[in-house]
Structure 1
Amino acid sequence: MDVERTAGTEPAFPAKSDAHKKDDARSITEDRSIGHGENDLLGGENVDAVLAAKMILVNDAIDEIGFTNHHWKLFCLNGFGYAVDSLILLLQSIISAQAQKEFRPAYSTGLTIAVYVGMLVGAVFWGFSADIIGRRFAFNVSLFVSSIFTVVAGASPSWVTLGLFVCLSAFGSGGNLVLDTTVFLEYLPSQNQWLLTLMAAWWGVGQLIAGLFAWAFLPNFSCAEAATCTRANNQGWRYVWYTSGALVFVLSILRITIIRLEETPKFLVSEGRDEEAVSVLQNIASKHNRPCSLTVERLEACGPTQSRSATAGGLSKRLFSIGEVGGHFRGLFATRRMGLSTSLVWASWLLIGLAYPLYNVFLPSYLSSRGAQFGQASQYITWRNYAINNTCSIFGPVLAGFMCKSRLFWGRRGTMIVGALITMVFFFCYTQVRTASQNLGFTCAISFCLNIYYGTLYAYTPEVFPSAHRGTGNGVAIGLNRIMGIISAVVGQAANTNTPVPIYICAALYIVMAAVAAALPFEPYGRRSS
């Protein structure tokens, strides 16, 4: 079936018609002796037999190359995106109280709305562009955009200006997050896909960095009362933005210099660029002395893949083509099972999008109000506890990663169910906090368990989307999450975060999340993503 060629040599038999090639493609999918198509997660769902056959060959090649230093670099560099997203998300909540004393705004949760609007637009914009123009551009540019506006935010002269720059900073970091899991997954050997869950530990690293910056600057460089608060005696929150922006800038430079990312082979194959896809994989194999038997001829033997760039009138028209975006949406609902999966995954992101910020974004308020009840009203204690809490959040995805690779916990779905239910229990317990030690202990436990669920959801989402539409599916999922983050700001304002009401809401939402996880139709454990 595969037509092996060498330079200057004609094939041993006449070229096949497109119809025959499509028949061969179906044979590749069905013949288990040729590849490992039976292990592909969406193997029974694909409606494009040619693309399905090519994805099997690409997966076989990635598995043949195995895990290399290239993947470790991607693990860290993509992890930077996780860290920056959580850093930017929490910075606005960390500095909000001090900025309010200086600017005296009418709407106190305005920064929360600003950061989620930026992340919403970023997720949708970069998610769609990832499927239309490729993953590489967004991966290289988004962190740099975020770093510039993070630094500028520290110099804001007013509350409205601060909100604008927070929004623009979040546009870069939120869009970057869509690409982190997508790029890493599309290079990963199937036996190492569990690392996608472990990579979410970087999210906790970003939270920890935010907490440490707050602990370092806010207790020492902040005004005490709004009546006497000026820019001169309230520089702490600005120092937090400057330092964070400088860190993000360094990370954006490292992503470009440490590894020169090439376009992912799965995106190239979906675009009909078979030769480039083979070149990327052969380069990795050659650099790390690994075998790679994939050839252009083997891919071409499956038949031609429709290249959208050849039919949509060029890049400029494709970027603004409603039909192009609609095609990616339809691809996420190509079969009834895929449609159910997409709907439930998006529902999960809606739910966590409300529950997560109601707790984490407003955590400084919870810690401060409960600390005051126990005679621990100092900023030093508040931000010390915040840093300790965020340290605990790092290890939730670490445990989740090992749970995901174990059949004992029913793979990804079981890990999400366990994480959601345990988190729910601790949320209910937190409403009964009576001592300072309980306050710190339960917040640490919640951060740990919450990230078991969240880290697994981040990994599960790209795994169950087809490669050709993965950026769109991921972008919409995270976009829906950001919409609920905006709503959480309104709920937080109305419900008053100094009361247990938002905590009860979070606990109830995690019960629903566990039920949705149980209903998900695909389990990636032991399977390969397309």
Structure 2
Amino acid sequence: MSEKNVAQEPKGQFETNVLDEEQARDDKTLPNDDLSTTPTAVDILSLEHTDPVLDAKMRLVNNAIDEIGFTGYQWKMFMLNGFGYAVDSLILLIQSIISGQAALEFHPSYPSAMTVAAYCGMLVGAMGWGFSADIIGRRFAFNCSLFVCSIFAIIAGSAPNWPVLGLFIALSSFGGGGNLVLDTAVFLEYLPSKQQWMLTIMAAWWGIGQLIAGLFAWAFLPNFSCADPALEPGAPPCTRGNNMGWRYVWFASGALVFVMSVLRVTVINLHETPKYLIGKGQDAQVVETLQMIAKKYNRPCSLTLASLEACGKTDPIHSAKRFSFAEVWEHIKGLCATRRMALSTGLIWLSWTLIGLAYPLYNVFLPTYLKSRGAQFGETSQYIQWRNYAIINMCGIFGPIPAGFLCATRIGRRGTMVVGALTTMVFFFAYTQVRNEDQNLGFNCAVNFCLNIYYGTLYAYTPEVLPSAHRGTGNGIAISGNRIMGILSAVIATVADTSTPVPIYICAGLYIVMAIVAACFPFEPYGRRSS
């Protein structure tokens, strides 16, 4: 594609920033125009690839996906992939919701152990499922991860003691923790470029998972929980018989996740994503998959095996031994193939690390803070506490919706993240001045809404700017950094007082840094297609 051709790209939503393209060129040779049809939009990494053949084939695949357009297949994926979002937040919040009541029954020496267990499981899950997505493909993890999560979530409700509860929470989190790596990647790799903004809106499912956690807590904990001797000195000892509420929460959550796992396998017969297959050199399967979707939904698809084979043979992206450190290293190197890709990958990982500390400091320990603030305002009812918790989490559902529409404007993904981070920071600082119960509830709702504007956009932005062949690895490492900071937050909570506004101030400061980092991202996906 010549410089002249780039300048003549269509305007409007797919307007090309020529200066960015020239800066990204780095003296690389683009594939000849006869290797691919003229794209309707510039691919984000088209001038960053070190393999011009892969770039040409990727443009052909993107052209075919755009030609087919948005179908019922993508709608099914929006729902079923959204289950993974919901499960991740559900499992993460359930452990924080039930830990207080379980601790009354088991009298642990380390009360924050459940948070550590959950984040350790999610850390291993993000790394394991993430690497597997690039090594053996997306399909296996997509079909299995929720099933693993559901089984151990149900078993967690039967835990006889604190260590066993921590073990099964970790195992359940292992299954759930890989979903955020896979769900965005799989959905994105079937998504037409004009609908890429829907990847941000899909984060609304995260809020739905939070809401479900709050509703389960509201339904079971006030009615089936023992009293806290610290609040009621004459309360009877807390035993399994009078403290089944937290177990019911786990049983209900596990059963729901199991239903979701069954639906993922039965409602949609997921085929391996075309962009993963292109990286492996399986051109025939790419054509077969896209032609199958086009035929099922009566859409045109002009992609042929001959057109892909005419581009040539792609460079190998795997090491000699598929399951080895060398294989992982190949994918890590692929994320830093050029200077701008290395900068982009580093800033993404930094963003995930920062929000990995800010999010749990606020949200995972929100029940403790709500309880302490309620006590300050004279409100000690468990019913009111968990009702407010459900309302606050419901507000988180709607944050990704305006974020998705902002992403589809010239504000773009970077601008949306800056807006989300700064508005969250403002409400965090304002929240420390709360003086009554109504303000407590209102400002928490505002914080959760604005927080998910940033978080939902970051979830979508990350896979959009990562190369397809290494997307699982890059996503997995990003989310792993997030989980490591979640473990650190549990340690902080052990030695600090989470009932004070100090964590709120820390979170506010972190969001200022996140806004600055978002403004420095080198790639803007608005008007461009994911590679």
Q: TM-score, normalised by structure 2?
A: 0.92
Counterparts of residues 98-137 of structure 1 (less than 5 Å): 98-137=101-140
Q: Which amino acid aligns with 2:271?
A: E
1:348 matched to 2:351? The reply is yes
Q: Which amino acid aligns with 1:417?
A: V
1:318 alignment partner, one of 310, 316, 322: 322
| Corresponding residue of 1:503 | 504
Contact 1:271 1:306 in 2 (8 A): no
1:332 alignment partner, one of 327, 331, 335: 335
| Corresponding residue of 1:59 | 62
| Corresponding residue of 1:34 | 37
Looking at structure 2, the residues matched to 225 and 291 of structure 1 have their Cα atoms a distance apart, in angstroms, of 64
Looking at structure 1, the residues matched to 51 and 322 of structure 2 have their Cα atoms a distance apart, in angstroms, of 21
Looking at structure 2, the residues matched to 352 and 286 of structure 1 have their Cα atoms a distance apart, in angstroms, of 43
| Corresponding residue of 1:253 | 262
| Corresponding residue of 1:14 | none
Tell me the alpha carbon deviations over residues 150-177 of structure 1, each in whole angstroms, 9 at most, x when there is no partner: 0000000001100000000000000122
1:167 matched to 2:170? The reply is yes
Contact 2:142 2:183 in 1 (8 A): yes
| Corresponding residue of 1:22 | none
Q: Which amino acid aligns with 1:160?
A: P
Contact 1:463 1:524 in 2 (8 A): yes
What is the deviation of 1:29? 5.7
Contact 1:61 1:281 in 2 (8 A): yes
Structure 2 residue matching 1:496: 3-state secondary structure: coil
Counterparts of residues 289-328 of structure 1 (less than 5 Å): 289-307=298-316, 312=320, 317-319=321-323, 321-328=324-331
Tell me the alpha carbon deviations over residues 362-400 of structure 1, each in whole angstroms, 9 at most, x when there is no partner: 010111110111111110000000000011000000110
| Corresponding residue of 2:283 | 274
Percent of aligned pairs with the same amino acid: 70
1:384 alignment partner, one of 371, 383, 387: 387
Looking at structure 2, the residues matched to 194 and 218 of structure 1 have their Cα atoms a distance apart, in angstroms, of 38
Contact 1:50 1:303 in 2 (8 A): yes
| Corresponding residue of 2:161 | 158
Q: Which amino acid aligns with 1:235?
A: M
1:217 matched to 2:220? The reply is yes
Contact 1:416 1:517 in 2 (8 A): yes
- What RMSD, in angstroms, separates the aligned Cα atoms of the two structures? 1.4
Looking at structure 1, the residues matched to 244 and 445 of structure 2 have their Cα atoms a distance apart, in angstroms, of 29
Looking at structure 1, the residues matched to 456 and 144 of structure 2 have their Cα atoms a distance apart, in angstroms, of 24
Tell me the alpha carbon deviations over residues 475-510 of structure 1, each in whole angstroms, 9 at most, x when there is no partner: 000000000000011112222111011111000000
1:426 matched to 2:435? The reply is no
Contact 2:35 2:56 in 1 (8 A): no
Q: Which amino acid aligns with 2:257?
A: V
Q: Which amino acid aligns with 2:112?
A: T
Looking at structure 2, the residues matched to 35 and 107 of structure 1 have their Cα atoms a distance apart, in angstroms, of 61
Looking at structure 2, the residues matched to 452 and 379 of structure 1 have their Cα atoms a distance apart, in angstroms, of 29
Structure 2 residue matching 1:222: 3-state secondary structure: coil
Looking at structure 1, the residues matched to 376 and 497 of structure 2 have their Cα atoms a distance apart, in angstroms, of 16
Contact 2:317 2:330 in 1 (8 A): no
Q: Which amino acid aligns with 1:155?
A: S
1:86 matched to 2:108? The reply is no
Q: TM-score, normalised by structure 1?
A: 0.92
Q: Which amino acid aligns with 1:318?
A: R
Contact 2:104 2:228 in 1 (8 A): yes
What is the deviation of 1:38? 6.1
Counterparts of residues 439-454 of structure 1 (less than 5 Å): 439-454=440-455
Which runs of 5 or more structure 1 residues have no equivalent in the other structure? Answer: 1-24
What is the deviation of 1:34? 2.5
1:241 matched to 2:250? The reply is yes
Number of equivalent positions: 498
1:521 matched to 2:526? The reply is no
What is the deviation of 1:305? 2.2
| Corresponding residue of 2:293 | 284
Contact 2:226 2:238 in 1 (8 A): yes
Tell me the alpha carbon deviations over residues 88-134 of structure 1, each in whole angstroms, 9 at most, x when there is no partner: 00000000110010001011110000000000000000000100000
- Shift of the 494–130 alpha-carbon distance from structure 1 to 2, 3 Å rule, reads same
